[in-house]
Structure 1
């Protein structure tokens, strides 16, 4: 465990601190203005080093997983009655899966940094795709070569999308002085033929969909349709990012607008850091944020249920979030992105420290109404109706005991998305500010000037 913690520390150093520390080494005179270009190049250098390290480690874990799975399969075929060795291998498989998730969470930390923590922009790339793609083969090697070529420019950083869990558009996402670029890397004779096909259709001014339908080769037609879809998704994503509005990638009938917050967002990171410090002496610490969010930090005998039971009661019986859940949420400021000390991050990972966050939804509703936002609990029927009509998956809606939180002004209804709850509980944004911004968004929706910040039509 100590070696794993050191490994995480080394990678986090490259992501979070390398650029600044290297710059200070080169320019110890703090009175001089910062050379932004040089600073950017050094920050990119750290992320490039971290990405290559993570690629190597993720590949090793995947190889070990494949070997482990093969051995399980062999034993089930040759010695099905030998339960103990099979169970041991299955347990090992779970540990390996956990390690892969941890490593990919570190990649997500790079994503969070390269987008400056703008979750509404990161969400544009998350399309709820399940599973992971292969990190071997000619296709992936071509992606690596393309990344290496782009990353030769010190002022650009090309992220290998398949390493992250939340980048589902493009093979490479590049950030540079001119913003973001989305790159699809294609190899092989058939792919080259397809690219030429698209170029010919475009040059002749023909309708792409009609020309694809005319293709006699069923396999080639399917490939063209797949590539056309990839091109459309990438174009829609770029359109939203560049223009702050556009068609949702998964549903042509839904418009996404990146609505600028009226009130500057505030987080409660400092409160969490203070609780971590206080808990060193007392083994437990508690605070309330705006009378809506309840936070507890626990150590020693407060672990194992005592702290959770206490906070659960304070939180009016509503469910609690464990900060470690940030490692399994795709679009979030995860644990590795928090402004905590490396020691505290390691202790949270290993369970020596438990950080729990609860939202008292009754207090949330009360403040919303006081602010002028007509928020209430929905009925089960209302929730099921919106789930059936929504182009997004049901889990993207916030639900509790078969109810949702709905804004209802008598003319129009809008359900609160899970992203809003995650902002408060796991991104640690102050709930009162988020409610006020949601009120402004709601009013903008009603006058036709805006929609939602996230990848769904909820509010």
Structure 2
């Protein structure tokens, strides 16, 4: 297993290729500070080629690193079983730590791939959510036909202006096997191998050419029970991919997960974040081992390095406990496992990003929910804690995925332009903690929500 420093060097190498290949090239350094809209078409194309070149090199390294680390993870898990069986406590603890390190490194590599995908979809979080269907994203590449996928993307990537990303490298692209960017269009490709899959594909292609709708009866009449089951599964995957692609390129269509009509509206409130607070804290870390601030009286941020990391989490938690019993606290490194704006899309220096991802800097964030509720009320959103009884009833009424519940109580919001109460979802908390949107801006955005977007 690589040392921490070796891992850091590799993460920086892969990230620089993925996100700075073009701007670091001699041809484009002279264009820094100018707007791409002011470039002529030839320069724009060459820039895209350079960006895609970096994506391709980064993807190749990601495949290598993920395969190596996943194999190490397999070995360590087998060793863990053996040490537990022998009741070797110290070895068990050491191996458990190594497993945690490997799993975080794999999450970091997936987060780099997420950053690439984020650029392909132009940073549209609603598109990212269409791709995520709630499946376990921790697939082992060597058991997901990686050789075939690599062969396909390498062929597509021979074109300088095209780029194909292997979905299994990411954590949130769970529809389709390959995400493809071609000029201004983004698409999804399903990869299938084997004689039966070829027959099913030919069958679907023939129906499409004849403009014939795929029905369950047609599938059952064409194939035996096992192949028919496979064909139906393939058809669902194809339909999901088609729907996701339509929403991606037109901002309207059928949601591939809920199968309900969806139309994405342009936000009326400009998003405002607090990323500059991170940079202020980072500057303090040049002479101190910890730094701390509070944003809008409800959001606590602590940043630590070196010996200060030992106090990370404990300090913020103690501060919050003195304020309220209703709070949420996170290690911001968990952004690598969260469906949100990747850290690479934020206006942070590359070295700071790598320091966070490799544990050289630790960031702990806490949200005082009582103060957040008070703040929302001041800004015009009637917000309150539900009772434990009301919360239990709300859970029974319908499945509320991501419903915020702290100490067995949920949070209710009444938006003037929507009418009625709505339960606060984890998406709102995620936007504040991981997308780094100011709580006040989050409230204003909710107040501008149109009824059809609820």
TM superposition score category, shorter chain reference = 0.7 to 0.9
Which stretch of structure 1 is more off in the superposition, 279-288 or 318-327? 279-288
Q: How does 1:389-404 map to 2 (within 5 A)?
A: 390=398, 394=401, 396-404=402-410
Secondary structure at the counterpart of residue 228 of structure 2: helix
Distance 1:190 1:399 in 2: 47
Q: CA deviation at 1:369?
A: 2.6
> How high is the TM-score relative to the length of structure 1?
0.85
Cα displacement (A) at 1:21: 1.2
Match of 1:111 among 96, 113, 117: 117
TM-score (norm 2): 0.85
Deviations 1:184-230 (A, max 9, x none): 12222111110122233442635522312435511101101101110
Cα 1:353/1:409, change in 2 over 3 Å = closer
Partner residue, 1:121: 127
Q: In the alignment, which residue of structure 2 is the partner of 1:179?
A: 185
Seen in structure 2, the aligned counterparts of structure 1 residues 264 and 100 have a Cα distance that, compared at 3 Å, is same
Report the CA distance between 1:391 and its aligned residue: 5.6
Q: Does 1:322 align with 2:324?
A: no
CA contact (8 A) 2:149 2:191 kept: yes
Supply the RMSD in Å over aligned alpha carbons.
Answer: 3.1
Equivalent residue, structure 2, for 1:451 = 453
- 1:294–1:315 Cα contact (<8 Å) kept: no
Distance in 2, matches of 1:96 and 1:237, equals 32
Q: What aligned pairs does 1:19-418 form with structure 2 within 5 A after superposition?
A: 19-22=22-25, 24=27, 27=30, 34=39, 35-70=43-78, 75=82, 80-81=85-86, 83=88, 87=92, 89=95, 91-136=97-142, 139-202=145-208, 203=210, 205-215=212-222, 217-252=224-259, 254-299=260-305, 300-301=307-308, 303-304=310-311, 307-309=315-317, 311-313=319-321, 316-317=324-325, 318-329=327-338, 331-349=339-357, 351-388=359-396, 390=398, 394=401, 396-408=402-414, 412-418=420-426
Structure 1: tracts of 5 or more residues without a match: 453-459
The DSSP-based 3-state class of the residue aligned with 1:281 is coil
Cα distance change, pair 251–213 in 1 and its aligned pair in 2 (3 A): farther
Contact 1:324–1:335 (CA under 8 A) maintained in structure 2: no
- The CA deviation at 1:347 is 4.2
Deviates more, 1:20-29 or 1:212-221: 20-29
Structure 1 residue matching 2:133: 3-state secondary structure: coil
Does the CA-based 8 Å contact 1:315-1:359 persist in structure 2? no
When the two structures are aligned, how many residues end up with a matched partner? 439
> In the TM superposition, what is the alpha-carbon distance from 1:18 to its structure 2 partner?
1.5
User: Gaps (5+ residues) in structure 2?
Assistant: none
Is the Cα–Cα contact under 8 Å of residues 180 and 187 in structure 2 kept in the other structure? Answer: yes
Specify the SS of the correspondent of 1:132: coil
